[in-house]
Every structure is written in C-alpha cells, then in structure tokens.
Structure 1
Amino acid sequence: MKLLTTFFSVGLLAVALSAPVQAQSTQPGGHGSMHGSGTMPSGGTPMGTGMDPAMMQKMMKDMMPAPGDSPATVAFKQAHVKMMHDMGVTYSGNADIDFVRGMIPHHQAAIDAAKIILKYGKDPENQKLATAIIAAQEREIASMQAWLAKNAK
C-alpha cells in the first residue's frame, strides 16, 4: 500500500510540475529561455529535458498501474517509479560522487527487475540471466557504497 501511495504521489507531482515548467520556459528570462528571448530550443521543449510537458505527462501516466495490468507489469511499473524517485539525488557538484550516488539506485532497479523475472518469468534463459544480474549488481552496489564511504566526505 505504501508503494502504491508513493506511485500516485509521484504521478501527481509530475503532472503538477509540468505546467510551471512550461510556463517558466516560455516567459522572457524564464529558466528555459534562450538569452531571455522567451523561445525554447528543440521546437518547444523545456531546455535540457528533450521532452515537452505533454510527453512527460504521458510518460508518468504510462508508469501508473492500470486496470488489466498483469501482476508482473504492476511490479515493473512500481520498480521503475521507485528507481526514478531514488535517482533524485541531491547533487554535490562533484561529478564522481554524483555519478555514483545516481548509479546505486539504477543498479538496484536492475536487481528489482531481475527479481520480478524470477517471480513471474517462465523462460529458463531469462531466469539464469536474472540470477546473474542480481549477483553482479549487488557486487557493484557494494563497491560503489565502499567508494562513497571513502570519497564522499
């Protein structure tokens, strides 16, 4: 239930935030403007996102559980939303630290997806691959956590 609440909260937040992004990016001097001209690069997409607000809203809608989704699909969607949430790290300005902090949840999402295959998948090759992914990603996460403990002070 807690994950489902987080799911809907993330979706509502994305929808709520898309309108201000669009408004800011079209106003002269707004965050997405080019030299205060009020225009946006890429034919109307907010600078740096590569997506317009409608595309972002569709992406968020597609990540929400829908009637008729299989249990595996719901699990994949939940894992994806969790990853996107957890990758929202506070940037330090140090590229190495920021990279590692963002990669840990990314690698955890690979573990989560592999566990979904182990639970719902039927193909033996995918089961074997999922098991290997879990082992490899757990090692890499441990390595990144050790690096952070040593370097992110």
Structure 2
Amino acid sequence: MSGAGMDMKGMDMKGMMKDNNDKMSSMQMTGNVDVDFAMMMRIHHLGAIDMAQAELKDGKAPEMRKMAQNIIAAQKKEIAQLDKFLAKNGHPVDKMSK
C-alpha cells in the first residue's frame, strides 16, 4: 500500500472500511432477500476479519488483541455458514476470497 493507504502504523482502518463499503455498494443484488443478505454479510464479515488481522499485526492492548482473535474465529465460522447457504441456493462463492 502506498502512503495514502496507510497510517503511521501501516494499516489504514478507515481505508479498509471504505474498501469494504465500496464492495458492498457495488454488489449486484439478486432480488432474493435471503441471498442478498448472505452475500452482503459475507463481505461485511470479511472486512471484520481484515480489521481484526490489522489489530493483531499492530495492536498492543491485550483485551483488543483477544477480541480480534475471537472476531476472526467467529466470522470465519459464520462465513462458512453463509457459503453453505449461498451454494445451496445457487450462488456459490469463490473459496479463494476467504
């Protein structure tokens, strides 16, 4: 990332959130509320993992690092559930995006 995409610690949380919001807002909606919810939540959860990984990389507060670890575990579990639902409903996702 260039200087514009990084803060002094090397991770730009606001930039991460903007990228995540851009992905969600550009997502093609299907008209099926359940599928659209699952696809949006998948993107949202991936963003949470990215932010938690940034915390683990540069964060110092033990309680925030522990929270980041818990977030990663929980979000990965929910992403697996979302992937299963999406595949069952004809919208398989690229497993490489995990």
* TM-score, scaled relative to structure 1: 0.52
Q: Unmatched 5+ residue regions in structure 1?
A: 5-64
Q: Unmatched 5+ residue regions in structure 2?
A: 92-98
Distance 1:136 1:90 in 2: 26
Is 1:118 paired with 2:56? yes
Distance 2:43 2:16 in 1: 10
- Report percent identity of matched pairs: 40
Match of 1:75 in 2: 12
Distance 2:18 2:38 in 1: 19
Distance 2:23 2:5 in 1: 23
RMSD value, Cα: 2.1
Question: Which aligned pairs between 1:37-56 and structure 2 lie closer than 5 A?
Answer: none
Query: Contact conserved, 1:92 with 1:98, CA < 8 A, in 2?
Result: yes
Asked which structure has the greater RCO (Cα within 8 Å, sep 6+), the reply is 2
Distance 2:66 2:81 in 1: 23
Match of 1:148 in 2: 86
**Secondary structure of residue in 2 paired with 1:149:** helix
Q: For 1:96, which of 34, 49, 52 is the aligned residue?
A: 34
- Higher radius of gyration, 1 or 2: 1
Give the residue type in structure 1 aligned to 2:13.
F
**Secondary structure of residue in 1 paired with 2:30:** coil
Match of 1:138 in 2: 76
Number of residue-to-residue matches in the alignment: 89
Give the residue type in structure 1 aligned to 2:27.
V
**Deviation of 1:66 (Å):** 7.8
**Deviation of 1:71 (Å):** 2.7
**Deviation of 1:76 (Å):** 1.0
Q: Judging by fraction of residues, say which structure has more helix.
A: 2
* TM-score, scaled relative to structure 2: 0.79
Query: Contact conserved, 1:107 with 1:137, CA < 8 A, in 2?
Result: yes
Give the residue type in structure 2 aligned to 1:127.
R
